Amino acid sequence: MLQVILRKQGYVVEEAANGSEALQKALAGGFDFILSDIRMPVMDGPEFLRQASDAGVSATIIMMSAYGTVDTAIECMKLGAYDYISKPFKNDEILLVLKKAEERQRLAAENRRLKEEMHREFSFASIISRNPRMGEIFSLVEKVSEYKTTVLVLGESGTGKELVARAIHYNSGRRNAEFVAVNCGAIPESLLESELFGHVRGAFTDASADKAGLFEQADGGTLFLDEIGEMPLSLQTKILRVLQEGEIRRVGETTPKKVDVRVISATSKDLEHEVRGGGFREDLFFRLNVFSIKLPPLRERLEDIPLLVAHFLGKYGDKFGRPGVECAPQVVKEFMKYTWPGNVRELENAIERGLILCEGDLLTMDCLPDGIRNVHTVRYLPADSLSIKQAGEMLERDFIRRALEKTGGNRTHAAKLLEISHRALLYKLKEYGME
Protein backbone atom coordinates (compact mmCIF):
# COMPACT_ATOMS: atom_id res chain seq x y z
CA MET A 1 0.00 0.00 0.00
CA LEU A 2 2.82 2.40 0.91
CA GLN A 3 4.66 1.59 -2.28
CA VAL A 4 1.60 2.52 -4.38
CA ILE A 5 1.00 5.77 -2.43
CA LEU A 6 4.60 6.93 -2.62
CA ARG A 7 5.17 6.03 -6.27
CA LYS A 8 2.11 8.08 -7.20
CA GLN A 9 3.82 11.02 -5.49
CA GLY A 10 6.98 10.55 -7.56
CA TYR A 11 9.13 8.68 -5.05
CA VAL A 12 11.36 5.80 -6.16
CA VAL A 13 10.55 2.95 -3.77
CA GLU A 14 12.24 -0.34 -2.85
CA GLU A 15 10.96 -2.92 -0.37
CA ALA A 16 12.60 -5.19 2.23
CA ALA A 17 10.86 -8.05 4.04
CA ASN A 18 12.73 -7.56 7.35
CA GLY A 19 15.36 -5.47 9.12
CA SER A 20 18.28 -7.66 8.07
CA GLU A 21 17.43 -7.35 4.38
CA ALA A 22 16.81 -3.61 4.83
CA LEU A 23 20.21 -3.13 6.48
CA GLN A 24 22.01 -4.74 3.53
CA LYS A 25 20.19 -2.46 1.09
CA ALA A 26 20.73 0.63 3.27
CA LEU A 27 24.47 -0.06 3.48
CA ALA A 28 24.61 -0.13 -0.31
CA GLY A 29 23.45 3.51 -0.16
CA GLY A 30 21.25 5.61 -2.39
CA PHE A 31 18.27 6.00 -0.03
CA ASP A 32 17.05 9.32 1.37
CA PHE A 33 14.34 7.88 3.63
CA ILE A 34 13.54 4.55 5.28
CA LEU A 35 10.06 3.68 6.58
CA SER A 36 10.36 0.79 9.01
CA ASP A 37 7.90 -1.28 11.05
CA ILE A 38 8.66 -2.04 14.70
CA ARG A 39 7.61 -5.71 14.67
CA MET A 40 9.36 -7.73 11.94
CA PRO A 41 10.84 -11.22 11.61
CA VAL A 42 14.63 -11.87 11.65
CA MET A 43 15.50 -8.37 12.86
CA ASP A 44 12.95 -6.02 14.45
CA GLY A 45 12.77 -2.24 14.05
CA PRO A 46 14.73 -1.14 17.15
CA GLU A 47 17.58 -3.53 16.35
CA PHE A 48 17.60 -2.29 12.74
CA LEU A 49 17.83 1.27 14.07
CA ARG A 50 20.77 0.38 16.32
CA GLN A 51 22.73 -1.41 13.63
CA ALA A 52 21.95 1.23 10.97
CA SER A 53 23.19 3.95 13.31
CA ASP A 54 26.35 2.03 14.20
CA ALA A 55 27.03 1.40 10.51
CA GLY A 56 26.69 5.12 9.67
CA VAL A 57 23.56 4.87 7.50
CA SER A 58 22.74 8.48 6.59
CA ALA A 59 19.13 7.98 5.44
CA THR A 60 16.34 9.54 7.53
CA ILE A 61 14.50 6.70 9.32
CA ILE A 62 10.79 6.91 10.21
CA MET A 63 9.32 4.17 12.43
CA MET A 64 5.75 2.78 12.32
CA SER A 65 3.74 0.39 14.49
CA ALA A 66 0.21 -0.57 15.49
CA TYR A 67 1.48 -1.83 18.87
CA GLY A 68 3.50 1.15 19.97
CA THR A 69 3.27 3.18 23.13
CA VAL A 70 4.74 6.55 24.11
CA ASP A 71 7.71 4.70 25.60
CA THR A 72 8.27 2.86 22.32
CA ALA A 73 8.25 6.12 20.38
CA ILE A 74 10.70 7.72 22.80
CA GLU A 75 13.02 4.72 22.61
CA CYS A 76 13.01 4.87 18.80
CA MET A 77 13.85 8.59 18.83
CA LYS A 78 16.73 7.91 21.22
CA LEU A 79 18.05 5.30 18.82
CA GLY A 80 18.09 7.86 15.99
CA ALA A 81 14.66 7.73 14.36
CA TYR A 82 13.49 11.02 12.84
CA ASP A 83 9.81 10.43 13.60
CA TYR A 84 7.30 7.84 14.78
CA ILE A 85 3.90 7.12 13.23
CA SER A 86 1.16 5.03 14.82
CA LYS A 87 -0.94 2.68 12.70
CA PRO A 88 -3.50 2.96 11.30
CA PHE A 89 -2.46 6.19 9.61
CA LYS A 90 -3.88 8.38 6.86
CA ASN A 91 -2.08 8.66 3.52
CA ASP A 92 -1.65 12.42 4.01
CA GLU A 93 0.05 11.81 7.35
CA ILE A 94 2.83 9.78 5.74
CA LEU A 95 3.26 12.33 2.95
CA LEU A 96 3.38 15.22 5.41
CA VAL A 97 6.08 13.53 7.52
CA LEU A 98 8.13 12.88 4.37
CA LYS A 99 7.77 16.49 3.21
CA LYS A 100 8.93 17.72 6.61
CA ALA A 101 11.87 15.31 6.48
CA GLU A 102 12.74 16.55 2.98
CA GLU A 103 12.76 20.15 4.19
CA ARG A 104 14.96 19.16 7.14
CA GLN A 105 17.41 17.45 4.81
CA ARG A 106 17.41 20.43 2.47
CA LEU A 107 18.16 22.83 5.32
CA ALA A 108 20.90 20.56 6.67
CA ALA A 109 22.49 20.27 3.22
CA GLU A 110 22.27 24.05 2.72
CA ASN A 111 23.83 24.61 6.12
CA ARG A 112 26.70 22.27 5.31
CA ARG A 113 27.20 23.93 1.93
CA LEU A 114 27.27 27.42 3.45
CA LYS A 115 29.75 26.36 6.12
CA GLU A 116 32.01 24.84 3.46
CA GLU A 117 31.75 28.01 1.37
CA MET A 118 32.58 30.18 4.34
CA HIS A 119 35.74 28.28 5.21
CA ARG A 120 36.81 27.62 1.62
CA GLU A 121 35.99 30.75 -0.29
CA PHE A 122 34.34 33.63 1.49
CA SER A 123 36.10 33.93 4.84
CA PHE A 124 38.90 36.39 5.47
CA ALA A 125 40.17 36.85 9.04
CA SER A 126 36.67 36.30 10.51
CA ILE A 127 35.02 38.55 7.91
CA ILE A 128 32.43 36.54 6.03
CA SER A 129 31.29 37.76 2.62
CA ARG A 130 30.82 36.98 -1.03
CA ASN A 131 29.85 40.56 -1.88
CA PRO A 132 32.01 42.02 -4.71
CA ARG A 133 32.69 45.23 -2.77
CA MET A 134 33.83 43.23 0.25
CA GLY A 135 36.06 41.21 -2.09
CA GLU A 136 37.71 44.46 -3.15
CA ILE A 137 38.19 45.36 0.52
CA PHE A 138 39.88 42.01 1.15
CA SER A 139 42.33 42.86 -1.65
CA LEU A 140 42.99 46.31 -0.13
CA VAL A 141 43.64 44.72 3.28
CA GLU A 142 46.16 42.30 1.77
CA LYS A 143 47.95 45.13 -0.05
CA VAL A 144 48.19 47.53 2.89
CA SER A 145 48.96 44.94 5.58
CA GLU A 146 52.73 44.81 5.03
CA TYR A 147 53.20 48.58 5.27
CA LYS A 148 53.24 50.71 8.41
CA THR A 149 50.89 53.21 6.72
CA THR A 150 48.11 54.56 8.92
CA VAL A 151 44.70 53.27 7.88
CA LEU A 152 41.31 54.90 8.45
CA VAL A 153 38.36 52.48 8.41
CA LEU A 154 35.00 54.11 7.73
CA GLY A 155 31.53 52.64 8.13
CA GLU A 156 28.32 52.63 10.09
CA SER A 157 28.16 51.12 13.56
CA GLY A 158 28.21 47.32 13.45
CA THR A 159 29.73 46.94 9.97
CA GLY A 160 32.89 45.21 11.24
CA LYS A 161 35.49 47.99 11.40
CA GLU A 162 37.47 46.29 14.18
CA LEU A 163 37.46 43.00 12.23
CA VAL A 164 39.10 44.82 9.30
CA ALA A 165 41.68 46.34 11.66
CA ARG A 166 42.45 42.88 13.07
CA ALA A 167 42.69 41.47 9.55
CA ILE A 168 45.29 44.09 8.67
CA HIS A 169 47.27 43.32 11.83
CA TYR A 170 47.19 39.51 11.52
CA ASN A 171 48.11 39.62 7.84
CA SER A 172 51.14 41.82 8.56
CA GLY A 173 54.63 41.21 9.91
CA ARG A 174 53.37 42.53 13.26
CA ARG A 175 51.08 39.57 13.80
CA ASN A 176 53.20 38.13 16.63
CA ALA A 177 53.07 41.40 18.59
CA GLU A 178 50.01 42.81 20.35
CA PHE A 179 46.85 44.17 18.76
CA VAL A 180 45.50 46.73 21.24
CA ALA A 181 42.03 48.24 20.79
CA VAL A 182 40.57 51.25 22.55
CA ASN A 183 37.24 53.02 22.07
CA CYS A 184 38.01 56.74 22.23
CA GLY A 185 34.40 57.59 23.05
CA ALA A 186 34.08 55.15 25.94
CA ILE A 187 36.77 56.63 28.22
CA PRO A 188 36.28 59.99 30.00
CA GLU A 189 38.46 62.78 28.64
CA SER A 190 40.19 63.18 32.02
CA LEU A 191 41.41 59.55 31.89
CA LEU A 192 42.04 59.09 28.18
CA GLU A 193 45.48 60.73 28.08
CA SER A 194 46.76 58.54 30.91
CA GLU A 195 45.19 55.47 29.27
CA LEU A 196 46.90 56.13 25.94
CA PHE A 197 50.29 57.49 27.06
CA GLY A 198 50.65 56.14 30.61
CA HIS A 199 51.79 58.12 33.66
CA VAL A 200 54.51 58.26 36.28
CA ARG A 201 54.04 57.98 40.01
CA GLY A 202 52.75 61.22 41.55
CA ALA A 203 51.62 62.70 38.21
CA PHE A 204 48.16 63.17 39.73
CA THR A 205 46.29 62.29 42.92
CA ASP A 206 45.59 58.60 42.18
CA ALA A 207 48.91 57.91 40.41
CA SER A 208 50.42 55.67 43.09
CA ALA A 209 52.76 53.88 40.68
CA ASP A 210 54.22 54.16 37.18
CA LYS A 211 51.91 52.85 34.49
CA ALA A 212 52.56 52.10 30.82
CA GLY A 213 49.96 53.36 28.37
CA LEU A 214 48.36 51.60 25.42
CA PHE A 215 50.94 52.98 22.96
CA GLU A 216 53.71 51.24 24.94
CA GLN A 217 51.63 48.09 25.24
CA ALA A 218 51.23 48.03 21.45
CA ASP A 219 54.96 48.68 20.82
CA GLY A 220 55.96 46.53 17.83
CA GLY A 221 52.31 45.84 17.08
CA THR A 222 49.12 47.71 16.24
CA LEU A 223 46.99 50.22 18.15
CA PHE A 224 43.37 50.43 17.00
CA LEU A 225 41.72 53.76 17.85
CA ASP A 226 38.02 53.06 17.47
CA GLU A 227 35.62 56.01 17.17
CA ILE A 228 38.53 58.41 16.60
CA GLY A 229 35.94 61.09 15.83
CA GLU A 230 35.19 61.24 19.56
CA MET A 231 38.82 62.10 20.43
CA PRO A 232 38.97 65.38 22.41
CA LEU A 233 40.73 68.24 20.60
CA SER A 234 43.17 68.56 23.50
CA LEU A 235 44.51 65.05 22.78
CA GLN A 236 44.48 65.25 19.00
CA THR A 237 47.73 67.26 18.97
CA LYS A 238 49.48 64.58 21.04
CA ILE A 239 48.23 61.79 18.75
CA LEU A 240 49.55 63.79 15.79
CA ARG A 241 52.98 64.04 17.48
CA VAL A 242 53.14 60.25 17.94
CA LEU A 243 52.35 59.75 14.26
CA GLN A 244 54.93 62.32 13.16
CA GLU A 245 57.78 61.65 15.61
CA GLY A 246 57.15 58.05 16.70
CA GLU A 247 57.50 58.93 20.37
CA ILE A 248 55.28 59.32 23.43
CA ARG A 249 55.60 61.01 26.79
CA ARG A 250 53.92 59.66 29.89
CA VAL A 251 51.82 62.08 31.93
CA GLY A 252 54.15 63.77 34.43
CA GLU A 253 57.31 62.71 32.58
CA THR A 254 59.74 65.05 30.81
CA THR A 255 61.66 62.54 28.70
CA PRO A 256 59.99 61.18 25.53
CA LYS A 257 60.17 57.50 24.64
CA LYS A 258 60.34 56.01 21.16
CA VAL A 259 57.61 53.53 20.19
CA ASP A 260 57.11 51.48 17.03
CA VAL A 261 53.33 51.36 16.69
CA ARG A 262 51.12 51.08 13.67
CA VAL A 263 47.95 53.12 14.16
CA ILE A 264 44.66 52.06 12.61
CA SER A 265 41.67 54.25 13.37
CA ALA A 266 37.97 53.92 12.69
CA THR A 267 34.90 56.11 12.83
CA SER A 268 31.24 56.17 11.89
CA LYS A 269 31.40 59.99 11.68
CA ASP A 270 32.02 62.11 8.60
CA LEU A 271 35.47 63.40 9.61
CA GLU A 272 35.66 65.84 6.70
CA HIS A 273 32.46 67.43 7.99
CA GLU A 274 33.94 67.48 11.52
CA VAL A 275 37.06 69.22 10.18
CA ARG A 276 34.96 71.90 8.49
CA GLY A 277 33.03 72.41 11.72
CA GLY A 278 36.18 72.69 13.84
CA GLY A 279 35.54 69.47 15.77
CA PHE A 280 38.56 67.63 14.34
CA ARG A 281 42.05 68.81 13.45
CA GLU A 282 42.68 68.95 9.71
CA ASP A 283 46.36 67.99 10.03
CA LEU A 284 45.47 64.91 12.10
CA PHE A 285 42.77 63.94 9.61
CA PHE A 286 45.30 63.98 6.76
CA ARG A 287 47.72 61.90 8.86
CA LEU A 288 45.08 59.28 9.64
CA ASN A 289 43.56 59.24 6.16
CA VAL A 290 46.67 58.14 4.25
CA PHE A 291 44.83 54.93 3.31
CA SER A 292 41.07 54.67 3.85
CA ILE A 293 38.74 51.68 3.64
CA LYS A 294 34.98 52.24 3.57
CA LEU A 295 32.77 49.32 4.63
CA PRO A 296 29.32 48.95 3.05
CA PRO A 297 26.31 48.56 5.37
CA LEU A 298 24.63 45.13 5.56
CA ARG A 299 21.61 46.39 3.59
CA GLU A 300 23.95 46.80 0.60
CA ARG A 301 25.35 43.27 0.85
CA LEU A 302 22.18 41.19 1.26
CA GLU A 303 23.76 38.15 -0.42
CA ASP A 304 25.90 37.78 2.70
CA ILE A 305 22.95 37.34 5.06
CA PRO A 306 22.49 33.54 4.56
CA LEU A 307 26.25 33.05 5.08
CA LEU A 308 26.25 35.17 8.23
CA VAL A 309 23.16 33.42 9.59
CA ALA A 310 24.81 30.01 9.16
CA HIS A 311 28.01 31.32 10.77
CA PHE A 312 26.28 32.79 13.83
CA LEU A 313 24.05 29.72 14.25
CA GLY A 314 27.20 27.59 14.37
CA LYS A 315 29.00 30.00 16.69
CA TYR A 316 26.22 30.35 19.27
CA GLY A 317 24.97 26.79 18.77
CA ASP A 318 28.37 25.57 19.99
CA LYS A 319 28.49 28.18 22.76
CA PHE A 320 25.03 27.31 24.13
CA GLY A 321 25.27 23.55 23.57
CA ARG A 322 22.65 23.77 20.80
CA PRO A 323 24.44 22.43 17.71
CA GLY A 324 22.30 21.61 14.68
CA VAL A 325 19.71 24.41 15.10
CA GLU A 326 18.69 25.63 11.67
CA CYS A 327 16.95 28.74 10.37
CA ALA A 328 13.42 28.49 8.94
CA PRO A 329 13.24 29.66 5.28
CA GLN A 330 10.69 32.34 6.23
CA VAL A 331 13.16 33.84 8.72
CA VAL A 332 15.84 34.19 6.06
CA LYS A 333 13.28 35.84 3.75
CA GLU A 334 12.39 38.38 6.45
CA PHE A 335 16.08 38.97 7.13
CA MET A 336 16.56 39.82 3.45
CA LYS A 337 13.77 42.44 3.63
CA TYR A 338 14.90 44.10 6.86
CA THR A 339 17.15 47.19 6.64
CA TRP A 340 19.53 46.30 9.54
CA PRO A 341 20.31 49.74 10.98
CA GLY A 342 22.68 48.01 13.42
CA ASN A 343 24.28 46.04 10.55
CA VAL A 344 26.14 42.75 11.16
CA ARG A 345 26.23 43.32 14.93
CA GLU A 346 22.42 43.57 15.00
CA LEU A 347 22.10 40.36 12.97
CA GLU A 348 24.48 38.56 15.33
CA ASN A 349 22.50 39.76 18.36
CA ALA A 350 19.24 38.61 16.73
CA ILE A 351 20.63 35.10 16.15
CA GLU A 352 22.04 34.90 19.68
CA ARG A 353 18.69 35.97 21.17
CA GLY A 354 16.81 33.62 18.86
CA LEU A 355 18.84 30.61 19.96
CA ILE A 356 18.12 31.42 23.61
CA LEU A 357 14.35 31.60 22.96
CA CYS A 358 14.14 28.80 20.38
CA GLU A 359 12.96 25.55 21.98
CA GLY A 360 13.27 23.17 19.03
CA ASP A 361 15.82 22.66 16.27
CA LEU A 362 14.34 25.34 14.02
CA LEU A 363 14.75 29.09 14.49
CA THR A 364 11.35 30.63 13.68
CA MET A 365 9.92 34.14 13.48
CA ASP A 366 8.59 33.86 17.04
CA CYS A 367 12.17 33.76 18.33
CA LEU A 368 13.15 37.11 16.78
CA PRO A 369 13.14 40.61 18.30
CA ASP A 370 9.94 42.61 17.76
CA GLY A 371 11.73 45.17 15.61
CA ILE A 372 12.62 42.55 13.02
CA ARG A 373 9.42 40.54 13.33
CA ASN A 374 6.95 43.39 13.04
CA VAL A 375 8.61 46.22 11.14
CA HIS A 376 8.85 46.17 7.36
CA THR A 377 10.78 49.12 6.02
CA VAL A 378 12.06 49.92 2.54
CA ARG A 379 15.76 49.72 1.87
CA TYR A 380 17.61 52.92 2.63
CA LEU A 381 18.60 55.36 -0.08
CA PRO A 382 22.31 56.11 -0.44
CA ALA A 383 23.56 58.25 2.44
CA ASP A 384 24.16 61.25 0.17
CA SER A 385 20.65 61.19 -1.37
CA LEU A 386 18.02 63.67 -0.22
CA SER A 387 15.58 63.04 -3.06
CA ILE A 388 11.96 62.91 -1.87
CA LYS A 389 10.97 61.58 -5.28
CA GLN A 390 13.38 58.62 -4.98
CA ALA A 391 12.21 57.91 -1.44
CA GLY A 392 8.58 57.99 -2.55
CA GLU A 393 9.24 55.60 -5.43
CA MET A 394 11.06 53.22 -3.10
CA LEU A 395 8.15 53.27 -0.66
CA GLU A 396 5.62 52.63 -3.44
CA ARG A 397 7.67 49.71 -4.78
CA ASP A 398 7.86 48.16 -1.33
CA PHE A 399 4.12 48.55 -0.64
CA ILE A 400 3.22 47.08 -4.05
CA ARG A 401 5.56 44.13 -3.53
CA ARG A 402 4.12 43.41 -0.08
CA ALA A 403 0.51 43.71 -1.32
CA LEU A 404 1.19 41.26 -4.17
CA GLU A 405 2.88 38.83 -1.75
CA LYS A 406 -0.10 39.02 0.60
CA THR A 407 -2.61 38.37 -2.20
CA GLY A 408 -0.57 35.64 -3.88
CA GLY A 409 -0.01 37.84 -6.95
CA ASN A 410 -3.69 38.76 -7.41
CA ARG A 411 -3.48 42.32 -8.79
CA THR A 412 -7.17 43.15 -8.31
CA HIS A 413 -7.05 42.30 -4.60
CA ALA A 414 -3.65 43.98 -4.25
CA ALA A 415 -5.08 47.21 -5.70
CA LYS A 416 -7.86 47.13 -3.08
CA LEU A 417 -5.31 46.71 -0.28
CA LEU A 418 -3.30 49.62 -1.68
CA GLU A 419 -6.49 51.67 -2.04
CA ILE A 420 -5.79 52.53 -5.67
CA SER A 421 -7.54 51.52 -8.88
CA HIS A 422 -6.59 48.35 -10.71
CA ARG A 423 -5.59 50.50 -13.68
CA ALA A 424 -3.31 52.66 -11.51
CA LEU A 425 -1.63 49.52 -10.14
CA LEU A 426 -0.98 48.20 -13.66
CA TYR A 427 0.52 51.55 -14.62
CA LYS A 428 2.86 51.55 -11.61
CA LEU A 429 3.90 47.93 -12.22
CA LYS A 430 4.89 48.90 -15.75
CA GLU A 431 6.58 52.13 -14.61
CA TYR A 432 8.70 50.33 -12.01
CA GLY A 433 9.46 47.32 -14.20
CA MET A 434 7.66 44.97 -11.81
CA GLU A 435 5.44 43.24 -14.38
**pTM, to two decimals:** 0.60
Contacts of 176 (CB under 8 A, 6+ apart): none
Over residues 22-28, mean pLDDT: 87
pLDDT of residue 387: 67
pLDDT confidence bin for 114, thresholds 50/70/90 = low
Over residues 215-241, mean pLDDT: 94
User: Could you give the 3-state DSSP secondary structure of residue 418?
Assistant: helix
How many other CB atoms are found less than 10 A from the CB of residue 384? Answer: 5
pLDDT of residue 124: 62
CB 305 within 8 A of CB 338: no
pLDDT of residue 374: 60
φ, ψ for residue 200, nearest 5 deg: -105, 160
pLDDT of residue 190: 81
CATH (residue range 132-294): 3.40.50.300
pLDDT of residue 121: 42
Is-same-fold flag (2-89; 132-294)?
Answer: yes
Is residue 19 pLDDT above 90, yes or no?
no
Closest CA to 33 of 103, 128, 98, 117: 98
Residue 88 preceded by cis peptide, ω within 30: yes
Pick the CATH number of 388-431 from 1.10.287, 1.10.10, 1.10.3470, 1.10.1220: 1.10.10
**Ranges assigned E (strand) in 155-298:** 179-183, 198-199, 211-212, 222-226, 247-248, 257-258, 262-267, 291-294
Over residues 195-221, mean pLDDT: 89
pLDDT of residue 197: 93
CATH domain 2-89 topology: Rossmann fold (3.40.50)
CATH domain 298-374 topology: Helicase, Ruva Protein; domain 3 (1.10.8)
CB 57 within 8 A of CB 64: no
CB 395 within 8 A of CB 339: no
pLDDT of residue 378: 44
pLDDT tens, 132-161?
Answer: 999 899 999 999 998 999 999 999 999 999
pLDDT confidence bin for 120, thresholds 50/70/90 = very low
Angle of helix 305-319 relative to helix 343-357, nearest 10 degrees?
A: 50
pLDDT of residue 380: 47
φ, ψ for residue 224, nearest 5 deg: -105, 115
Over residues 215-238, mean pLDDT: 94
pLDDT confidence bin for 119, thresholds 50/70/90 = very low
pLDDT tens, 340-366?
Answer: 888 999 999 999 999 998 888 889 888
pLDDT of residue 385: 58
pLDDT tens, 382-432?
Answer: 555 566 776 777 778 778 887 887 887 888 888 888 889 888 888 888 777
Extents of the domains making up the chain: 2-89, 132-294, 298-374, 388-431
CB 127 within 8 A of CB 164: yes
